[in-house]
Structure 1
Amino acid sequence: MTSRSSAASSSVSRSELRQLVRLQLQALLEQENLSGAKALLVPVLPVDIAEVITELPEDMQALAFRLLSKDEAIEVFEYLDSNTQQALLGEFKRQEFLNVVDQMSPDDRARLFDELPAKVVRRLLEQLSPEERAATALLLGYKPDTAGRIMTPEYVALRENATVAEALEQLRRSAHDRETIYYLYVIDDQRHLRGVLSLRDLVVAQPDQLIHNIMSRDVISVHTDTDQEEVAQIIQRYDLLAVPVVDQEERLVGIVTVDDVLDVVQQETTEDIYTLGGLESGDDNYFQMNLFTVARKRVVWLLVLLITNTGTSAVIQSQEDLLEQVVALAAFIPLLIDTGGNVGSQSSTVVIRGLTTDTVQLKKALGIVQREALAGGLLGLMLGLIVTVWAVLLQGNWGVAVSVGVSLFAISLLASVAGSALPFLFKAWKFDPALMSAPFITTAVDVLGVLIYLYVARWILGL
């Protein structure tokens, strides 16, 4: 409990510090006190500087960025979101821009190029140094959202027939420009991945020992076409700081580090949440999109739901004679379909999350649907009893009250089954369960729920 409180307090303090730095920096820039602004940023970490610059007014962002030293500017630029990066690039002079881009790590540069127009990317690639051009072109050649696209070629590779002394010397020469040195990957003469070695194991080994005698041959690796979400799950499952990436011939071509995986997890989680809400997913920041793009991303499933919900209207219209005789029945229709929608949403959410995190498999679908059906029945029983009493107090009609209670039980059961079964069904059909389930669950619960309610009422009331 104490550690969590301390962490929260530390987090708040850092946030407040960033806010204070932003206010002071903005004031100094407005006063054109550039030397004071530069001194203010000296003790601030690059990731915090990036956030401060992002929160500045647009006309001050480029000015603040130019106060940084070359090495710090490159690091800060990598932490900026894509929209701020593009805004700054438009303000840079050509050579100033190229210097920053050329010094970026290949994976961050590839991520930036994904956001730029193709014509601009081609021109920039031509201006990069041959080594950086080759590294970036390699990453851009792989499909988006795969291990090949998010990996970095900046890793340490040791020959399996080298000695520990030779490996340490190689590490001293190359460590400064590598993404991480905590994992050292062992390759043969054809660059096939043979093993992995931790930095600790290398340091404590005898200088004359051969690498292949101290390395671990049980290597967890992924292929260049492995989905980035699966890469994140592998790193999480095996508690890795990085995972090697191999091509179809098992040759080592790069590594994916845990910091890149955290970005993937955030991106995938955001995409899943948008999808569950019936939004067209994308890589752009939703709150920085123009209103026409926002409307386009939200309108598709709203139109689908609008059209499918005409089925509810058709059911109600077909039972007009019943509603005319017992008008009180109409008052409970919104309550029933809203409750059913909420129950179905709860069931679908837990199943979709399980499928996303790979804690639920298709082979377990029947057992999970049965479990959710029992849960839905129990919920329906509890809610049905409560709403029956409430309906009696409101209407004073036991027939209507019992109709509402029985219908709520049936609708909750239906919603739980639909909410848990449909994600499995769409997953089996290779559709995105998060995107496809929501509208179908809503339609099923609305149309069938109203139908159940009115037929139950007709049966209980004897009409």
Structure 2
Amino acid sequence: MPNTETAFLELINTRKWRTLKRALKTLDAVEAAQLVEDNSKGNKIILFRLLSRKQAKEVFKLLPRTEQENVIEGLAENFQKLTRLLNDINPDDRTAFFEELPGDIAQRLIQKLSPEEQKITIQLLSYPKDSIGRLMTPEFVAIRSHFTVAEAFAHIRQHGKDSETLNVIYIIDDQWKLIDDISIKELILASPDQLVDELIDNKFVSLHAMDDQESAISVFKNYDRVALPVLSQEGVLLGIVTFDDIMDVIEEESTEDFHKFGSVQNVGKNPLKERIFNLYKNRIVWLVLLVFMNIFSGAALESFEDVIQSFVALVFFLPLLIDSGGNAGSQSATLMIRYLALGEIQLSDWYKLIGRELLVSFLLGITMAASIAAVASFRAPEIVVIVCIAMVINVMLGSLIGLLLPFIFTKLKIDPATASAPLVTSLSDICGVLIYFSIASRLLEF
């Protein structure tokens, strides 16, 4: 059997379809997905069409969104294969795929679903974007509290085949309201004649369908669950959200925050496939705004023109000083945004952090001032004191700007990640120029 991409390519070129199909069966889902992704568009469709039904379902889930679209486009002529794939995909994965497609294309694909899968898909897509309802899957196992353990296992064997996970079993009443959940381990260790009602304590953790997806991250983190039930406002069990779905949300949110912190907006799927104009558009707005902000730095320099002309050596240390303040501010902002995102600090904690940040930034500033003093003592000994004082103040001020901006943005209900590195750096630059030359003017009596 082939074990390299070249060997699989040789089977495609020689049209040995049966051998290729048998070879694909020996691959796990990750290996098969990588093989499909690494091949040309025509070959990836051939490979995908030869996957078993079970493999196709798993491989499709692992492919990047652009590759999923290529597969759907390539299977469009094969109505039976496409219909089977769309019906086999887990409802939550199918919903995530459909919501990224243009509306007309999504509607055409929904028409290929069975009536039952259509109903599920339309229901999930009806929830607001980024809500937990969009993440959940209705494929779970629920039992009644009056079941014996033996009856519960019989029910699980009958209905658990298509369940997203069997680690947790949900207990509901006659109105499908959630009473509790129980791990499969507890059921296995219980006596077959014992009632499920005797095993539960009516204490459970749940999510609400209309809540924001980000709220689920902290719940999974705090309670260490592999899956959580999703309820309606009336407490009816609608579906479940699994840990792998939350991992996808964490990845998306982290990527989004990373781009915001770099002052990039509405990032496309792939820079190699995105239109040049879109790449330009996503970056130009913040860059232009920051250009106008930096005009203030130029105006500040102009106001100290006489000092600069008299002590040209001051200019030598200017980039170093303002960059140090900006770097310290970016560090502080990064930490605060991270802590806020993880819930380790709250909005009300801002005043508790100021004292600590002042002390830390003072120590940082002193250390950096000692370093720059060694250079200044050889290059321009007459301004050593000015450079050292400016360094300490710039680092402290930059750190405070980086600390406070995320809190201010959060208070204004703006994503704190928008307090990006370029914004912190620009503000620190303006302040750094004013501080440096104000100290120089004062001490040099100019």
TM-score range, shorter chain: over 0.9
Shift of the alpha carbon at 1:71?
2.4
The alignment status of 1:86 with 2:69, answered yes or no, reads yes
The alignment status of 1:421 with 2:404, answered yes or no, reads yes
- The secondary structure found in structure 2 opposite 1:115 is coil
Partner AA of 1:255 in structure 2: I
Aligned positions of 1:302-321 closer than 5 A: 302-321=287-306
Whether the 8 Å CA contact 2:86–2:112 is kept in 1: the answer is: no
Shift of the alpha carbon at 1:238?
1.1
- The secondary structure found in structure 1 opposite 2:224 is coil
Whether the 8 Å CA contact 2:264–2:286 is kept in 1: the answer is: yes
Which residue, 318, 322, 342 being the options, matches 1:337?
322
Aligned position for 1:12: none
CA distance in 2, matches of 1:410, 1:115: 48
Partner AA of 1:106 in structure 2: P
* Aligned residue-pair number: 443
Aligned position for 2:362: 377
CA distance in 1, matches of 2:62, 2:102: 21
Task: Structure 2: give runs of 5+ residues left out of the alignment.
Answer: none
Whether the 8 Å CA contact 2:147–2:195 is kept in 1: the answer is: yes
The alignment status of 1:222 with 2:207, answered yes or no, reads yes
Structure with bigger RCO (C-alpha 8 Å, 6+ apart): 2
The alignment status of 1:170 with 2:155, answered yes or no, reads yes
The alignment status of 1:196 with 2:181, answered yes or no, reads yes
Whether the 8 Å CA contact 2:406–2:416 is kept in 1: the answer is: yes
Deviations 1:345-373 (A, max 9, x none): 00011110000011111121111122112
CA distance in 1, matches of 2:168, 2:181: 7
Aligned position for 2:115: 130
Aligned position for 1:24: 7
Shift of the alpha carbon at 1:157?
0.8
Aligned positions of 1:433-444 closer than 5 A: 433-444=416-427
- The secondary structure found in structure 2 opposite 1:176 is coil
Aligned position for 2:337: 352
Q: Percent sequence identity over matched residues? A: 36
Moved more, 108-117 or 38-47: 38-47
CA distance in 1, matches of 2:317, 2:331: 21
Task: Structure 1: give runs of 5+ residues left out of the alignment.
Answer: 1-17
Aligned positions of 1:20-99 closer than 5 A: 21-92=4-75, 93=77, 94-99=79-84
Whether the 8 Å CA contact 2:128–2:134 is kept in 1: the answer is: yes
Q: Which runs of structure 1 show a deviation greater than 4 angstroms over 4 or more consecutive aligned residues?
A: none
Which residue, 374, 383, 395 being the options, matches 1:389?
374
Shift of the alpha carbon at 1:281?
4.4
RMSD value, Cα: 1.8
Partner AA of 1:284 in structure 2: K
Aligned position for 1:9: none
Shift of the alpha carbon at 1:291?
2.3
Shift of the alpha carbon at 1:286?
4.5
The alignment status of 1:107 with 2:92, answered yes or no, reads yes
Aligned position for 2:136: 151
Partner AA of 2:56 in structure 1: A
Whether the 8 Å CA contact 1:308–1:443 is kept in 2: the answer is: yes
Residues 410 and 274 of structure 1: CA distance in aligned 2, closer, same or farther (over 3 Å): same
Deviations 1:144-173 (A, max 9, x none): 222111111100111122222221111011
CA distance in 2, matches of 1:23, 1:403: 66
Whether the 8 Å CA contact 1:387–1:405 is kept in 2: the answer is: yes
Aligned position for 2:391: 408
Aligned position for 1:264: 249
Residues 283 and 254 of structure 1: CA distance in aligned 2, closer, same or farther (over 3 Å): farther
Deviations 1:295-344 (A, max 9, x none): 22122211111111111011111111111111111122111111111100
Residues 187 and 285 of structure 1: CA distance in aligned 2, closer, same or farther (over 3 Å): farther
Partner AA of 1:50 in structure 2: A
Partner AA of 2:418 in structure 1: L
CA distance in 1, matches of 2:13, 2:289: 50
Whether the 8 Å CA contact 1:422–1:437 is kept in 2: the answer is: no
Moved more, 444-453 or 158-167: 158-167
Shift of the alpha carbon at 1:285?
3.8
CA distance in 1, matches of 2:278, 2:7: 35
CA distance in 1, matches of 2:416, 2:135: 25
Shift of the alpha carbon at 1:189?
0.9
Aligned position for 1:448: 431
Shift of the alpha carbon at 1:111?
0.8
Shift of the alpha carbon at 1:115?
1.7
Residues 374 and 31 of structure 1: CA distance in aligned 2, closer, same or farther (over 3 Å): farther
Residues 424 and 287 of structure 1: CA distance in aligned 2, closer, same or farther (over 3 Å): farther
- The secondary structure found in structure 2 opposite 1:253 is strand
CA distance in 2, matches of 1:146, 1:440: 30
Deviations 1:96-151 (A, max 9, x none): 21221011110011011012111122222233111111111121111122211111
CA distance in 2, matches of 1:265, 1:24: 37
